[in-house]
Amino acid sequence: MAQYKKGSMSWVLRYLIPVKGSMLILLVLLLTTTLFQLISPQIVQRFIDAAFAKGPMSSLIGLAGVYLVIAVCNQLITVALSYLGNDVAWRATNQLRADLLKHCLRLDMRFHNLKTPGEMIERIDGDVTNMSNFFAMFLVQIVGSFVLLAGILAIMFVHNSSIAIVMTLFTCVSIGVMIGIRDLGVTASQAERQASASLYGLIEERIAGIEDVQTGGSVPYVMNRFHRAMRAVFQRGRKAWMLRVVPWNATVILYTMAVTVVLLLGVHLYLTGQATLGTLFLFFQYTQMLNDPIEQLGNQMQEFQKAKSGMRRCRELLGLGSEIQEGTAETLPDGALSVEFEEVNFSYNQEERVLHDINFTLNPGERLGIVGRTGSGKSSISRLLLRLYNMDNGVIRVGGVDIRQLKLAALYRRVGMVTQDVQLFDGTLRDNLTLFDSSLTDEQILETTAQLGLRPWVDAQPQGLQTHLSAGGTSLSAGEAQLFALTRVFLTRPSLVILDEPSSRLDPATEAALQTAVDHLLEHCTGIVIAHRLSTLEKVDKIMVLGRGRILEFGGREALAEDQSSHFAELLRTDRQEELA
C-alpha cells in the first residue's frame, strides 16, 4: 500500500487522468468566460463615454447589442461549466468509491469487527463526497482565477499605474494570507467527518437491532445516545466551519480597504480631469471584479480543507493492509479433500487465546462432527479453515496443501460453508441462489432445491426463479433461509463442506428431511458439521469434543458413543434426558 502512504498525493492523479479530456474542455470554457468578463466593462465604459458625449444612437445600440450577446454566451458557458463539473466530479469520485469498497471487502475480519456498517458507509461515501468539488473544479477554477486576476491587473496598468499598484498589493497580500492559513481547518474537518461517521454508525447499529430496542424499552437510551452524537457533530462542525472561513474573512477586510483606496483615487482623477466618467466606472467595475477571483480562491481554499480531510481519511483507509496474505497456488487435488490441523493456536485479541494446540486429521470423504459448549471454539475452527482470520501459529492443510500457500479464490472454489444466517441481495431468486453465477442452468438449480426440500417454496413464487427478492431476507422464514443457504453452497459442488449449526432453526420434521438431503449431497465430499443438536451427528464418522478451546476428545463416533466414560457419551445421555423431560 506504499502508493497510499501519508503525505502522498500522486494517487489522486490516477482518478483525474481518466477525465482529463473533460477537464481540458472545462479549462477552455473557463478561459472563454474569463475573456468575456474582461471585455464587458470596457464595452460599458465606451457606452457611458459615448452617451455622455451624445454620440450617434447606432453606436450605442451596437455596443448594447454586443454586451447582450456576450452576457447570453457567458450564461450558456456557465451552465456548461456546471454540467461538465458535476460530470467530472461523479466520474472521478465514483471510481474512488469503487476502489474504497473493493479494498474494504478485501480487509480481514479483525478490521470489520471494529467498524459498523454505518461508519463504513460514511467513510466510503461521505468522505469522498467532500472531495467531489476538488475533482471537478478545484484545479480549473484556481487556474481561471489567476488568469482573471492577471488580466484585470494588466488592463489596469494600461489605464492607471497607481490604481494598478494598489490592486496588485491587495491581490498579493490576500493570496499570501490564504496560502499561509490554508490548512487551518483541515484537522478540525477530519474531526467533523469522524463525528459524522460515528453518528451514522450509531443509527445503523440501533436500526439493525430495532426489535431488541423496542421490546427492551431502550428507545430513551438510544435517543440520548443520538442527541449526544448529534451534539458532537454540531460542535465539531461549527469549529471546522469557523476555521475554514478565516481565509475568506481576511480577504473581505483587505478587499474593503482596497476598494476604498481605489474609489478615492478614481474620484480624484475624475475631478482633476485625468479620467472620464466611463473610465471611473471601469476602475470601479474592475475593482469589483477583482474580488470575484479572490473570493473564488477563498471558497476553493475552504473546499480544499474539506477535501484534504477527506483525502487523509481515504489514504488512511486505502493504506490499511489485510493480515490475510494470499499465496500463489491455484490448484487442489481432485475429489474430496483431506483436512489437517497441526499445533494450531488462535486468539481474536492478545488478551485471551481461543484455540490451544489443535491437532486432528480428517481423511478425504470423512465427516466430522464438532460439539462443545458455547464459546468452546467450534466456529473459530471453521473461520480459520476459510482464512477469515490468521492463526497465531501452526499449520492448516486442505488436500495436503498449506492454506497459506493458496490463493483465496482457489480455496473458496473448493470449500463451502453454511452459516446460521443468510443474506439476500436485491435481485432475482435465481441470482440469489447462484450468487450471480450465470453458468449454472435452471435444471441444476431446480434439481438441487428439490434434493434439499426447497423446491415447493420455489414453485410457489409468482415468477419462479425470476421472482424478484428484496435485500435483507425478510421474505424467507427461518427454515427456508437455512435451506436457501444450503442450496447456495451445494450448487458450487464443493469438495469440502462446513455446516455451522445447519438445523438450529428447523423444526424436527424439516430437520429430518434436510438430514436425508445432506447425507445424499455429502456422499462425494468431506464434511465438517458443527452442531448443538446431537441428532444432526448420527451419520458422521468422527467426533471432536471441544472445551475452552482445547480438544477434549477426538475419535470414531461409534467408539466414543459406546465408551460410557467419554465426554460424547455423557452428552448423549444428557440429550436423551432432555428429550424425555
The better pLDDT of the pair 487, 259 is held by 487
Asked if residue 214 belongs to a domain, the reply is: yes
Q: Assess contact for 18 and 98: CB atoms under 8 A.
A: no
Residue with cell 470601479: 284
pLDDT for 182: 65
Say yes or no to pLDDT of 5 above 60. no
Asked if residue 210 belongs to a domain, the reply is: yes
Please say which residue of 318, 347, 377 terminates a domain.
318
Q: Could you tell me the three cell numbers for 184?
A: 487551518
For residue 364, the domain's CATH number is: 3.40.50.300
The arithmetic mean of pLDDT across residues 296-318, rounded, is: 75
Q: Could you tell me the three cell numbers for 555?
A: 475419535
pLDDT for 208: 67
Please say which residue of 318, 348, 381 terminates a domain.
318
Asked if residue 276 belongs to a domain, the reply is: yes
pLDDT for 351: 75
Q: Could you tell me the three cell numbers for 496?
A: 469440502
Hey, which bits of 35-115 come out as E strands?
Answer: none
Helical H runs in 107-159? Answer: 109-114, 117-121, 127-129, 132-133, 139-159
The arithmetic mean of pLDDT across residues 458-478, rounded, is: 77
For residues 178 and 278, state if they share a domain. Answer: yes
Asked if residue 330 belongs to a domain, the reply is: no
For residues 232 and 159, state if they share a domain. Answer: yes
Rounded Cα distance between 47 and 453, Å, is 88
Please say which residue of 318, 351, 380 terminates a domain.
318
With 0-12 CB in 10 A as exposed, 13-18 as middle and 19+ as buried, what is 398? buried
Is residue 523 very low, low, confident or very high in pLDDT (cuts 50, 70, 90)?
Answer: confident
For residues 288 and 395, state if they share a domain. Answer: no
For residues 346 and 289, state if they share a domain. Answer: no
**Can you tell me whether residue 415 is helix, strand or coil?**
strand
For residues 391 and 517, state if they share a domain. Answer: yes
Helix %, strand %, coil % of the chain (to 5): 65, 10, 25
Residue among 568, 571, 421 at smallest CA distance from 481: 421
For residues 202 and 262, state if they share a domain. Answer: yes
Rounded Cα distance between 139 and 15, Å, is 14
Asked if residue 333 belongs to a domain, the reply is: no
For residue 64, the domain's CATH number is: 1.20.1560.10
For residues 69 and 171, state if they share a domain. Answer: yes
pLDDT digits (tens, 9 = 90+) for 92-106: 888 888 888 888 888
For residues 408 and 279, state if they share a domain. Answer: no
The better pLDDT of the pair 462, 405 is held by 405
Which residue range(s) make up the domain with 561?
A: 339-422+476-580
Domain count, the chain: 2
Asked if residue 466 belongs to a domain, the reply is: no
